[in-house]
Amino acid sequence: MLNIKSPIPLYHQLADIILAKIRSGEYPAGSRIPSENGLASRYGIGRPTARQATDLLVRKRLLVRKRGSGTFVCEQQKELDLFSLAGTTSAFHKKGMSMTTHILKKIRLKSIGHDPENPFSNEKAYFFSRLSMVEKIPVLIEDIYLHDTIFTGIDKMDLSHRSLAQIVDEQYYMQPIGGVQNFRIGYLNGKKAQNLEVAADTPILMVKRFLHFDQTKNAIYSELYCRTDQFVFSQTLGGIDDER
């Protein structure tokens, strides 16, 4: 029941109760939860408080309102941990998902224009771009830059169906020792939007990833564009426990 003496707002307490019922399976995916009037009556609160609770869960994409029908539990999105140092391939494999990767731009040594956030700004770096798809749905674009001296010869390798981390480990005897990631919300247009099959007004999770190695900092820099309407992207904090 709700505790009126708690410093936690009543609507937040109610949202936590509903969330617990979703997680326990009492309110399974696709099921209709009690109406706001029903929640208000059951928990001895006003309808506006019940409305606040359901609003909170709707914003978190745990509930969805259907006009004329009521409020329903959303189908839970699959969660992918793409942002640990373990990387992308292992994240899909751990979830038992069938992933295919397509090279959008073949790897080549190129001059990088001025970009204050890119560690290879105004220098040369190996660059390639790839698209990851799950069950034929595009979910992720990665633009990847690699140090030109440390990764000499990588442009001669076939990267289309191989783990980048495996190549770095087996061919260059290197593993990342740390890194930094910046997160923001953005929007895409042009070719990237077409490849991810999103509209110009669809919010995209954009990540800038800097990987450090014993040999040098920022040896690999990536720009990730993540489609969040199909998956929840999470992050594990800690060291490396798998390969990318």
Q: Are β-strands 231-234 and 78-81 bridged in parallel, bridged antiparallel, or unpaired?
A: parallel
Residue with more model confidence, 204 or 97 = 204
What does the DSSP assignment read for 83-97? SSTT-HHHHHHHTT-
Q: How do strand 124-134 and strand 137-147 relate by DSSP bridges?
A: antiparallel
Neighbouring residues of 7: CB distance < 8 A, sequence distance ≥ 6: none
Q: Binning pLDDT at 50, 70 and 90, where does residue 147 land?
A: very high
Distances (CA, A) of 103 to 84, 129, 135, 162, 167: 22, 6, 17, 11, 16
Mean pLDDT across the stretch 190-204?
Answer: 92
CA 88 to chain centre: 10
pLDDT tens for 60-82 read 778 999 988 999 998 765 544 44
CA 162 to chain centre: 21
Most confidently modeled range among 152-161, 216-225, 235-244: 216-225
Could you list the beta-strand ranges (E) of 28-123.
Answer: 63-66, 70-73, 78-81, 99-111
Q: Give CA–CA dist 202/192, Å, rounded.
A: 12
Q: What are the tens digits of pLDDT across the range 164-192?
A: 887 887 788 788 888 888 989 999 999 99
Q: Which residues pair with 221 in a beta bridge?
A: 145, 210
Tens digits of per-residue pLDDT, 117-146? 999 999 999 999 999 888 788 988 999 999
Q: How far apart are CA 244 and CA 240, in angstroms?
A: 10
Q: Is pLDDT of 12 > 80?
A: yes
What does pTM read for this prediction?
0.62
> Which CATH class, in words, describes the domain spanning 10-73?
mainly alpha
Domain boundaries, the chain: 10-73, 78-234
- In 50-136 the beta strands, taken as DSSP E runs, fall at 63-66, 70-73, 78-81, 99-111, 124-134
Quick one: pLDDT at residue 96? Answer: 56
For the cut 80, the answer to whether the pLDDT of residue 231 exceeds it is no
Each residue of 80-124: pLDDT tens digit? 444 444 455 555 555 555 678 899 999 999 999 999 999 999 999
CATH 3.10.129.10 fits 78-234, yes or no: no
User: Which of 130, 161, 165, 127 has its CA nearest to residue 147?
Assistant: 127
pLDDT value of position 233? 61
